[in-house]
Amino acid sequence: MTIVGARPQFVKAKPVSDALAAAGLPELLVHTGQHYDDAMSGAIFRDLGLREADLDLGVGSGSHGAQTAAMLAGLEEVILDRRPAAVVVFGDTNSTVAGALAAAKLHVPVAHVEAGLRSHNRRMPEELNRIATDHLSDACLAPTASAMEDLAREGLDARSHLVGDVMVDMLRAVDLEGVAVPEWSGEPFVLATIHRAENTDDPDRLRSILEALAGMPLPVRLLAHPRLPAVAERLGLTALLEGGSLELHEPVPYSVMLALVTRSAAVVTDSGGLQKEAFLLGATCTTVRDETEWPETFEGDANRLATPWAVDDFSAVVLRGRSPVAGEPFGDGRAGARCVEVVERLLA
């Protein structure tokens, strides 16, 4: 049983789903319903070629406690009913921790794809979800050597496996030349996404980020997660969502996002996945956070942590150059198959 719920998990689930099929292991794909808008879920499934979920719990949005509790109750019922031999969870969302906890309490072996990543910022919900999930899991499937080190520091080395990053598998499978991109990508632009609670929910931080983007010397195309306009309205900051260089756009499917990264002058984001995608596709990334779970992306100045309130010239940081990077810190594109090998060992 594989459990997904939020947009980045669909990307991670596809290579594992393909590898399960290749190994002849039947998969029950369960969607918690954490993301439900077509742009956040259905469109991403179709773009990835991920088959429709077998079950959708339809949990939807809510406070952390209410949302996670609804998932926990729903997933427990499914596990009791379907009796999976193992459960696989992905990444760091509320759907991840709910799936791991529901399964572990019912003594079903749990494998966590993307284990061991740490920001060391315990104020982030994702950090708490990752720590809890890793400690609940029977197999911690780590994408990087630094994730393996963090798992070892927490005493989890005996159940940790370095498999590589499943997002590399997915990225390599996309034919970037064949992707239809928006018309606006023909001229130089900065590609931006901002959705983390630590940035959106703090009015001072959000104001500072939006003003910095509006002041960039190139058009900034901000592909907005629905959370952003919702929070901006609540905080009375809607007027800052457009103006100057800043333009708001709808979220785009995965393959379009990759194609836009390759065409962009630079990327500004607080997403974990996009930092890596920029790194792998040769784009320069600025991460609007104080820490990252992906320190490998710093190589060649491909990624830099910078917030508009802490640097003198944010535009200059964003539009700096980067060097090409040798090596494969995120693996060789065969992580999905390795994840499934570990799952097979759990089943045995």
Gyration radius (Cα) of the chain, Å: 19
Letter for the amino acid at 299? E
> Is residue 35 within the footprint of ligand UD1 (CB under 6 A)?
yes
- Residue 320 Cβ, how far from ligand UD1 at the closest point, in Å? 25
Selected range binding ligand UD1 among 48-56, 87-95, 111-119, 174-182, rule: CB under 6 A: 87-95
Task: Please give the distance of CA 136 from its chain centroid, rounded to a whole number.
Answer: 20
Is residue 298 part of the contact set for ligand UD1 (CB under 6 A)? no
| Residue ranges in 132-171 that form contacts with ligand UD1 under rule CB under 6 A | none
**CA gap 168, 170 in Å, rounded:** 5
Report the distance separating Cα 259 and Cα 176, nearest Å. 6
CA dihedral of residues 307, 268, 37, 181 (deg, nearest 10): 170
Binding range to ligand UD1, per CB under 6 A, among 30-38, 180-188, 241-249, 326-334: 30-38
**Closest by CA position to 323, among listed 345, 298, 348, 344:** 298
CA angle at 10 for the pair 12 and 234, rounded to the nearest 5°: 120
For the chain, give me the number of helices (H) and strands (E)?
14, 13
Would you count residue 37 as binding ligand UD1 (CB under 6 A)? yes
Instruction: Give the residue with the Cβ less far from ligand UD1, 119 or 286.
Output: 119
Nearest Cα to 95, choosing from 121, 120, 125?
125
Residues 5-24 that bind ligand UD1 (CB under 6 A): 6-8
Site for ligand UD1 contains 126 (CB under 6 A): yes
If the CB atoms of residues 167 and 265 are measured against ligand UD1, the closer one turns out to be: 167
Q: Which is nearer to ligand UD1, 207 or 227 (CB)?
A: 227
Does the protein bind ligand UD1 through residue 40 (CB under 6 A)?
yes
What element of type H or E holds 178? none
Residues 306, 286 contacting (CB under 8 angstroms): yes
Contact segment (CB under 6 A) with ligand UD1 among 29-37, 153-161, 238-246, 255-263 equals 29-37
Nearest CB to ligand UD1, comparing residues 156 and 223: 223
- Which CB sits closer to ligand UD1, 38 or 341? 38
Least separation, in Å, of the C-beta of 94 and ligand UD1? Answer: 4
- Active-site hit among 31, 35, 112, 195: 195
Sort 143 into a burial class: Cβ within 10 Å, 0-12 / 13-18 / 19+.
buried
Query: Beta partners for 268?
Result: 192, 286
Asked whether position 195 contacts ligand UD1 by CB under 6 A, the answer is: yes
Active site residue 107: no
Q: Which residues bind ligand UD1 (CB under 6 A)?
A: 6-8, 34-37, 40, 61, 92-94, 125-126, 195, 225-227, 230
